[in-house]
Amino acid sequence: MKLKISLLIVSLLFSSISIFSQEEVKKEDYAIIYVYRLKKSTDSNVDFNVLFDDVTIGKLTGSNSTFTANYSGKWLVSKREKTGSCLIKLTGKKDALRAKMLINVYAGKRYFVEFDPSAAYGENPLRVMPNSEGYELLLTADMENIDIVNPDIRITVKNEKDNGFVEEEGIADAQTETETNVTYRGGGDPLKGLNVSSAKSEMTIGNYYALIVGVDNYTGTWSQLQNAVNDAKAIEKLLREKYKFDHFKALYNESATRSNIINELEWLVANVKENDNVFIYYSGHGDYKEQLNKGYWVPVDANTKSTSQFISNSDIQTFLGGIKSKHTLLVSDACFSGDIFRGTTVSVPYEDTEKYYSKVHNLTSRQAISSGGIEPVMDGGQEGHSVFAYYLLKTLRSNTSKYFDASQLYTTIKIPVTNNSDQSPNFSPIKNTGDEGGQFIFIKK
């Protein structure tokens, strides 16, 4: 009954605004921008001003209630009376800038912009929604939560289907370009997701390869682990389900021998092409020989402390340099894994320009994220995962951006891992492997 009432209210809202013929709709000389504020507890009592090109058009009001259940998503609907770029800004307390995004709009079309007040650090709280998603949200909105700035706005839809709105033919998603030192949510291709849509013609997406290694069942002088395989399998499952990956190879427990790991690394060297992307994840024991000043992976068939049974970080570095991928990212959750970072490296300095984004996408990258430095790291943690794996999984699961690069991943996990353990994750290019300052990009399905 409540749904039917809601549908009726929305229908009445649309019909009461204006009813026009198809011919009249085609004569529209303005675009309509819908700004939607998500129902979130973060800053739920704060009013946010919405500006188009520095002109305030209205407010997305908050709720004075301490109970977030009483707070509903809010809408602000306004015209954009010319074709071209439109800078959308949101300001909060004391007119402090909260978010901004530049979109290109065209007369006669509709654009849906979502504002997420709880967006994590490094993410832009604004994103452009597909029109179908925007109309679906409108369907469930209460009339009191929709603020229509211009009374003559024509909210038009082509037809109704399954109690939902179907967008008008010809309405395309807005193309965005960035204005602030944040990561924006985009759509279309990785460069567009990195806010360089003009560079689309230069972009070639190759295959994504994943090599996942996890070992619990150690013997001899090496104690068994409890969570390494569970961590690795969870990573594999998540990547299969949520992100673009074309080829997987997993080595768990007895299959993760020294020779098998090296064989798989050699296979990557022989088969990966220059536009491909490689992700390598290792979860197991690590060792560090102070006399040799070198760190190692410990495969399942190592039963002594002899380095003859290990795989050295310098060997891994050699393989990473030999893999002909565009981007390779190594994630290592093992003791002393930070030893992989030897020597001084330099990354492209961040600046919010098209030149920067073009560089980091088109330049080769060879990077690693380690769960710690030259130090022991924890096997136990939360929910059957190590502390590092728990926050790695949490970050990749909760990511809503179409494109998510390695630097964003590290930035998100560094603080919670450090604050909840005695280890400090590291992220850096790997020296002498061919890194040119680029970034590995996770592409959400």
CATH architecture for segment(s) 202-443: 3-Layer(aba) Sandwich (3.40)
What whole-number distance in Å separates Cα of residue 337 and Cα of residue 287?
A: 8
Name the pLDDT band for 242 (thresholds 50, 70, 90).
very high
Strands 294-297 and 208-214: unpaired
Predicted confidence at residue 415, as pLDDT, reads 87
Question: Higher pLDDT residue, 184 or 242?
Answer: 242
Average pLDDT over residues 237-255: 96
CB atoms within 10 A of CB 193: 25
**Residue 167 pLDDT greater than 80, yes or no:** no
* N residues, the chain: 445
Which residue in 333, 331, 343 sits closest to 372, CA to CA? 333
Predicted confidence at residue 232, as pLDDT, reads 94
Least confident residue range of 16-25, 63-72, 142-151, 297-306: 16-25
The pLDDT mean for the chain works out to 75
Predicted confidence at residue 231, as pLDDT, reads 93
What whole-number distance in Å separates Cα of residue 55 and Cα of residue 29?
A: 20
What pTM value is reported for the model?
0.54
Name the pLDDT band for 95 (thresholds 50, 70, 90).
confident
Q: What percent of the chain has pLDDT over 90?
A: 33
Predicted confidence at residue 360, as pLDDT, reads 63
Least confident residue range of 249-258, 353-362, 422-431: 353-362
Predicted confidence at residue 358, as pLDDT, reads 55
Q: What are the sequence ranges of the domains in the chain?
A: 2-18+28-185, 202-443
Predicted confidence at residue 62, as pLDDT, reads 79
Predicted confidence at residue 335, as pLDDT, reads 64
Name the pLDDT band for 120 (thresholds 50, 70, 90).
low
CB atoms within 10 A of CB 220: 11
Question: Higher pLDDT residue, 96 or 261?
Answer: 261
Q: For residue 348, what are the contacts with CB-CB under 8 A and spacing of at least 6?
A: 356, 359, 360, 363, 437
Name the pLDDT band for 46 (thresholds 50, 70, 90).
confident
Question: Higher pLDDT residue, 41 or 173?
Answer: 41
**Residue 250 pLDDT greater than 50, yes or no:** yes
**Residue 396 pLDDT greater than 90, yes or no:** yes
Using alpha carbons only, give the angle 255, 258, 263 rounded to the nearest 5 degrees.
80
Q: For residue 201, what are the contacts with CB-CB under 8 A and spacing of at least 6?
A: none
**Residue 93 pLDDT greater than 70, yes or no:** yes
3-state secondary structure of 125: strand
Name the pLDDT band for 218 (thresholds 50, 70, 90).
very high
Question: Higher pLDDT residue, 12 or 113?
Answer: 113
Predicted confidence at residue 321, as pLDDT, reads 92
Question: Higher pLDDT residue, 343 or 61?
Answer: 61
Name the pLDDT band for 344 (thresholds 50, 70, 90).
very low
Predicted confidence at residue 64, as pLDDT, reads 55
